[in-house]
Amino acid sequence: MQKLNNASAQKRLTIKLIVAAVVILAAAMLLYLFYPQTKQAQQAADIKYTDSLLAMDTYMTFTVYGDNAEKATNEVKALITDCEKSWSVTDENSEISRLNRTGEAVLSLRTKDLLEKAKAYCRYTDGHFDPTIYPLVRAWGFTTGEYRVPASDELEELKKLTGADKLILLDDKAILSEGSMVDLGGVAKGYVGDLAMQTLKQNGIKSALISLGGNVQTLGVKPDGKNWIVGIRSPYDNGLIGKISIGEGCVITSGAYERHFTAEDGTLYGHIISPFTGKPAANGLVSVTIVADTGSKADALSTALFVMGTEEAIRFWKENAGFEVIMLSDDGTLFVSEGIYASFEPLDSKDVKTICEIKR
């Protein structure tokens, strides 16, 4: 009997040893198979490539992670240069200049898509963002640098040339009403940022931050898995009024400080024009930052809400979902919408007197 017990105990022990050996072998094989890949992926993500570009009247910087980062960044730079050639209102060979000169032009698919989006944002913002603003922008001298204050009757005439209905988009071409002209400056950088993100993704990039003249767009999160920290600039100087922590997204700001002139009577006129008054928008806001999932949305809305002014912009945000705002008014009140209030960290700034959370 004792002998029998010893034999079955030995058998159980042998089975246990075999099972343990199989488990250890399987674990070793898994480690062998996946460890090099994990390590490789980590090393690829650690490769950081930085570059810059002067384009679209602004200084752009690129921070791209991954073993394909340099090639991907070069493709993005070529893309931006190409888009600038198509959309610049000052380059007489651009698609947009040709359209403005002749009133009718066949467009590339990309330009047509951008115009469609611009028209849609014009409607969505009740005409505050207006891609046909160019006659007014030009009259104030914002493209040439020959600044002037146009007379009221001139502005009244030019206002008649603006509005989404002045731009008709057919299969592959655009038609403008007599005298109307397009300016995509209020949305082009955001849109090109979206194209840049697509290019980075196509190159296998999972983590990147691009700043197109202060407009920040990110891909994924940082290689260490943490959020990006994006500074919000003061419209008065180079200081920051706060920081915001974001994953993948866009943080785009509009303000008169970016381009303006001071008239003889001391009045400061900014480059964002109200299609309703024909004059540079001055409705109580000094800067508007939009946080959204696409650059074209954030860019068009930052321009539109700046034109709307404090009260109208708050009402627009309350009635429309899908984006968040940080807006500084000229009395030093900083309005931060509830969706990003917790991820916004105010910094000690003389330009911000009060912080006000806005809720739906």
DSSP string, 101-160: HHSEEE--HHHHHHHHHHHHHHHHTTTSS-TT-HHHHHHTTTTTS------HHHHHHHHT
CB of 129 to ligand AMP, least distance (A): 4
Choose the contact partner of 193 out of ligand AMP, Mg ion, none; CB within 5 to 8 A by kind: none
Partner whose footprint covers residue 220, from ligand AMP, Mg ion, none (CB < 5 to 8 Å by kind):
none
Report yes or no: 281 and 307 within 8 Å, Cβ to Cβ.
yes
Residue 327: contacted member of ligand AMP, Mg ion, none (CB under 5 to 8 Å, by partner type): none
Binding at 129: pick from Mg ion, ligand AMP, none (beta carbon under 5-8 Å per type): ligand AMP
Nearer to ligand AMP, 205 or 241 (CB): 241
- Closest approach of Cβ 49 to ligand AMP, in Å? 27
User: Least separation, in Å, of the C-beta of 154 and Mg ion?
Assistant: 25
> Which partner from the list Mg ion, ligand AMP, none does 84 bind, CB cut-off 5 to 8 Å by kind?
none
Compute the least distance from the CB of residue 278 to ligand AMP, in Å.
10
- Measure Cα distances from 76 to 50, 157, 207, 251, 278 in Å: 12, 41, 14, 19, 36
Contacted by 133, from ligand AMP, Mg ion, none: CB < 5 to 8 Å by type = ligand AMP
Closer Cβ to ligand AMP, 72 or 96, answer by number: 96
- Report d(CA 326, CA 324) in Å as an integer: 7
User: Which residue's CB is nearer to ligand AMP, number 185 or number 223?
Assistant: 185
Q: How far is the CB of 296 from Mg ion (least distance, A)?
A: 9
For residues 203 and 296, which CB has a smaller minimum distance to ligand AMP in the complex? 296
Q: Which is nearer to ligand AMP, 214 or 223 (CB)?
A: 214
Nearer to ligand AMP, 64 or 307 (CB): 307
Nearer to ligand AMP, 223 or 235 (CB): 235
- Quick one: what does residue 316 bind among ligand AMP, Mg ion, none, with the CB cut-off 5 to 8 Å set by partner type? none
Binding site for Mg ion (CB under 5 A): 186, 254, 299, 302-303
CA–CA distance, 64 with 200 (Å, rounded to integer): 8
Task: Point out which residues bind ligand AMP (CB under 6 A).
Answer: 129-130, 133, 137, 142, 183, 185-186, 254, 258-259, 271-273, 275, 299, 302-303, 307
Question: 185 contacts which partner out of ligand AMP, Mg ion, none, CB within 5 to 8 A by kind?
Answer: ligand AMP
Residues 6+ apart with CB under 8 A from 299: 186, 187, 188, 189, 190, 191, 193, 215, 250, 252, 290
Strand, helix or coil at 87?
A: helix
Closest residue to Mg ion in the complex (CB): 303
CA 231 vs CA 214, 239, 248: distances in Å:
9, 9, 15
**Nearest to 224, CA basis, from 32, 48, 80:** 48
Smallest gap from residue 266 Cβ to Mg ion (A): 27
CB of 144 to ligand AMP, least distance (A): 12
Closest distance between ligand AMP and the C-beta of residue 259, in Å? 6
Q: Is 172 helix (H, G, I), strand (E, B) or coil?
A: coil
DSSP helix/strand/coil, 330: coil
DSSP state letter for 332? S
Under a CB-based contact definition with an 8 Å cutoff, are residues 181 and 100 in contact?
yes
Q: Which candidate, 238, 239, 246, places its Cα nearest to that of 209?
A: 246
- What is d(CA 84, CA 93) in angstroms, rounded to the nearest whole number? 11
Alpha-carbon distance 60 to 80, whole Å? Answer: 10
Q: Which is nearer to ligand AMP, 235 or 242 (CB)?
A: 235
Q: Which amino acid is at 117?
A: K
User: From ligand AMP, Mg ion, none, which one binds at residue 280 (CB under 5 to 8 Å depending on kind)?
Assistant: none
